[in-house]
């Protein structure tokens, strides 16, 4: 597999499966007992600090530690839109990334409260995220089915760590039929957090964007996307009932089980413009069929 030129596909950031730091060959045996080597994705700890406070240790492929830290803190509401970030220092050896803000004092109490209820089973600071979504309404963005098919086609054919080594999730920030920023990660929500970090660092507009993901459309994924201000979320995977409820509540268009010509829209069907004839779209061919990253 050759090194991809992101711009070949119109990407601003695309996966770099040729990077030696992101996967390695591991020797084992196959079902016949014969020696067999497999490309396996790396997974490394990264401890995120906000100023002097240790927030979390994330398992990540560690390709964009600064975006991951920034996006994680923004998505968890530990960093507000008005907070001025004065620096992000990443130290590979100590496996630490520190996000520094101009004013740090008033985070302490808030963080103490947050981390008390934060936890493990869901990967979210549940109460605060639910509170943040109250009264939240997304702009009523139209979605053309021709965009969905074009995005699937392009993304599934983009060289990726997933195609090389499997066991990884992908999330892509898109605009219309164009994929812009394609992030992958082993950590469940790291890929979308890295996109949030990229958006915050560059001040990217959210209201005209689409998130395409390989992960399931759970409440947490819907809430994150909504808090990022993105009105359309599409996935190869399925829905949870609560994810659908929240999407309806905030006015998000939710597309799931997007494979080949097929998909379901369980929220926002009134904004869906069926401008493509599904019969002209090829079924998922096996070569580009994502086997499902699992989790």
User: Closer to a second copy at the Cβ: 12 or 95?
Assistant: 95
| Cα distance from N-terminal residue to C-terminal residue, the chain | 26
The sign one gets for the Cα dihedral 208, 214, 218, 219 is negative
Q: Are 63 and 16 in contact (CB under 8 A)?
A: yes
Q: Which of 240, 249, 271, 288 binds a second copy (CB under 8 A)?
A: 240
- Using CB under 8 A, count the residues that bind a second copy: 90
Is there binding between residue 79 and a second copy (CB under 8 A)? no
Is there binding between residue 119 and a second copy (CB under 8 A)? yes
User: Closer to a second copy at the Cβ: 49 or 85?
Assistant: 49
Residues 6+ apart with CB under 8 A from 45: 57, 58, 59, 60, 95
Q: Which of 122, 131, 137, 205 binds a second copy (CB under 8 A)?
A: 122
**Binding letters toward a second copy, positions 10-49, x by CB under 8 A:** -------------xx-xxxxxxxx--x-x-xxxxxx--x-
Q: Are 95 and 68 in contact (CB under 8 A)?
A: no
Which residue in 243, 240, 282 sits closest to 262, CA to CA? 282
Give min distance, CB of 275 to a second copy, in A: 10
Give min distance, CB of 179 to a second copy, in A: 18
Of residues 139-198, those binding a second copy (CB under 8 A): 145, 165-167, 169, 186-190, 193
Of residues 254-293, those binding a second copy (CB under 8 A): 256-257, 259, 261-267, 269, 272, 274, 278, 290-293
Give min distance, CB of 12 to a second copy, in A: 24
User: Closer to a second copy at the Cβ: 33 or 203?
Assistant: 33
- DSSP 8-class letter at 280: G
Q: Which of 107, 212, 216, 252 binds a second copy (CB under 8 A)?
A: 216
Give min distance, CB of 7 to a second copy, in A: 29
Residues 6+ apart with CB under 8 A from 242: 218, 219
User: Closer to a second copy at the Cβ: 205 or 282?
Assistant: 282
Give min distance, CB of 9 to a second copy, in A: 23
Residue 24: what are its φ and ψ, rounded to 5°?
-145, 160
Instruction: Order the strands of the 85-91 sheet from edge to edge.
Output: 53-60, 44-50, 96-101, 85-91
Give min distance, CB of 291 to a second copy, in A: 6
Q: Are 240 and 218 in contact (CB under 8 A)?
A: yes
144 Rama sector, left if φ>0, alpha if ψ -120 to 50, beta otherwise: beta
Q: Which of 203, 241, 286, 287 binds a second copy (CB under 8 A)?
A: 241
Q: Determine the Cα angle at 68 with ends 133 and 22, to 5°.
A: 140
Give min distance, CB of 131 to a second copy, in A: 13
């Amino acid at each position: 597999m050759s090194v991809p030129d992101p711009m070949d596909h119109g990407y601003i950031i695309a996966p770099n499966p040729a990077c030696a730091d992101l996967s390695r060959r591991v020797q084992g045996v196959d079902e016949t007992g014969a020696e067999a080597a497999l490309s396996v994705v790396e997974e490394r700890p990264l401890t995120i600090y906000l100023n002097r406070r240790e927030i979390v240790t994330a398992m990540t492929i560690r390709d964009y530690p600064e975006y991951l830290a920034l996006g994680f803190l923004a998505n968890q509401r530990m960093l507000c839109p008005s907070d001025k970030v004065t620096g992000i220092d990443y130290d590979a050896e100590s496996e630490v990334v520190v996000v520094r803000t101009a004013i740090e004092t008033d985070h302490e109490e808030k963080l103490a409260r947050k981390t008390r209820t934060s936890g493990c089973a869901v990967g979210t600071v549940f109460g605060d995220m639910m509170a943040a979504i109250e009264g939240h309404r997304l702009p009523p963005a139209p979605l053309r089915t021709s965009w969905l098919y074009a995005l699937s086609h392009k993304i599934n054919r983009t060289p990726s760590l997933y195609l090389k080594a499997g066991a990884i999730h992908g999330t892509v920030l898109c605009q219309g039929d164009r994929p812009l920023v394609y992030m992958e990660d082993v950590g469940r929500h790291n890929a979308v957090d890295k996109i949030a970090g990229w958006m915050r660092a560059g001040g990217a507009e959210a209201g005209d964007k689409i998130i395409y993901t390989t992960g399931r459309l759970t409440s947490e994924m819907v809430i994150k996307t909504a808090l990022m201000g993105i009105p359309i979320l599409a996935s190869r995977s399925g829905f949870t009932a609560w994810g659908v409820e929240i999407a309806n509540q905030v006015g998000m268009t939710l597309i799931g089980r997007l494979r080949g010509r097929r998909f379901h829209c369980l929220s926002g069907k009134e904004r869906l413009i069926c401008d493509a004839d599904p019969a002209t779209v090829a079924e998922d061919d096996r070569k580009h069929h994502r086997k499902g990253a699992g989790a």
